[in-house]
């Protein structure tokens, strides 16, 4: 078991390096997309600040409470964005028949397919989310203890696995209906946006 895990980690390292080389062959495009993602996430916090400069709270939720929820959501969606980005290409691969190449290699098909693409931009999103979460945590005066930290990690892990499960489920629709799967994945991401805010404000 340990040897198998070590083997797959080694394979992932090789595939990741090749994917990174491909992305860096167009450095300007890569840099612009990274900057765009960072600006998009930062702009959300700026909007929060503008709103709360005019309102004391929204449906009983304060600035730092909403910031905490928003940053938690960013962190929970990051693993899916980083590791499952290739699911967006699954429909094209199934439609053109290119997916067959993943079925003839002596490794796990799911691992091989999803390891081929790593969304490096997600690292920037993770850093913004972690920084904002720590900032909101401090201003909410939540005691930082071993128990609270473990609970935070467990909740983040659970939320991440839940989102990854939904995205995998939506991507699997490509094997039955190529045209509809992309819309389902988009819908899941749109629904994920609602998780960034308290349900009571809607």
Q: pLDDT per residue over 106-161, tens digit each?
A: 888 899 899 888 888 788 888 888 999 999 999 898 888 999 999 999 999 999 99
pLDDT of residue 178: 66
CA–CA separation, 200 vs 202, rounded Å? 6
CA–CA separation, 96 vs 118, rounded Å? 22
pLDDT of residue 157: 94
pLDDT of residue 191: 74
How is the chain split into domains, by residue range?
2-201
pLDDT of residue 161: 93
Mean pLDDT of 84-111: 87
163-190 pLDDT, tens digit each = 899 888 888 888 887 666 777 777 777 7
* Nearest residue to 163 (alpha-carbon basis) of 142, 138, 190: 190
What length does the chain have? Answer: 202
36-91 pLDDT, tens digit each = 777 877 887 788 788 777 777 777 788 888 889 889 988 998 898 888 888 888 88
pLDDT of residue 180: 67
pLDDT of residue 147: 92
* 98 pLDDT above the threshold of 80: yes
CA–CA separation, 194 vs 76, rounded Å? 13
């Amino acid at each position: 078991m340990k040897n198998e895990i070590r083997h797959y980690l080694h394979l992932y390292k090789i595939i990741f390096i090749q994917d990174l080389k491909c992305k860096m062959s167009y450095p300007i495009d890569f840099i612009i997309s990274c900057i765009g993602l960072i600006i998009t996430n930062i702009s959300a916090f700026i909007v929060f600040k503008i709103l709360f400069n005019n309102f004391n709270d929204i449906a009983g939720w304060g600035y730092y409470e909403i910031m905490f929820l928003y940053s938690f959501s960013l962190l929970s969606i990051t693993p899916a964005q980083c590791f499952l980005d290739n699911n967006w290409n699954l429909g094209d691969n199934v439609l053109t028949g290119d997916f067959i190449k993943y079925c003839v290699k002596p490794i796990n098909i799911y691992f091989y397919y999803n390891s081929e693409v790593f969304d490096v931009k997600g690292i920037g999103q993770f850093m913004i989310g972690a920084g904002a979460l720590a900032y909101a945590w401090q201003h909410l005066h939540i005691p930082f203890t071993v128990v609270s930290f473990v609970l935070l990690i467990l909740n983040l892990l659970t939320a991440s696995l839940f989102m990854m499960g939904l995205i995998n489920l939506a991507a699997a629709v490509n094997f039955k209906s190529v045209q509809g799967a992309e819309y389902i994945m988009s819908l899941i991401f749109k629904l994920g946006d609602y998780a960034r805010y308290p349900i009571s404000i809607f």
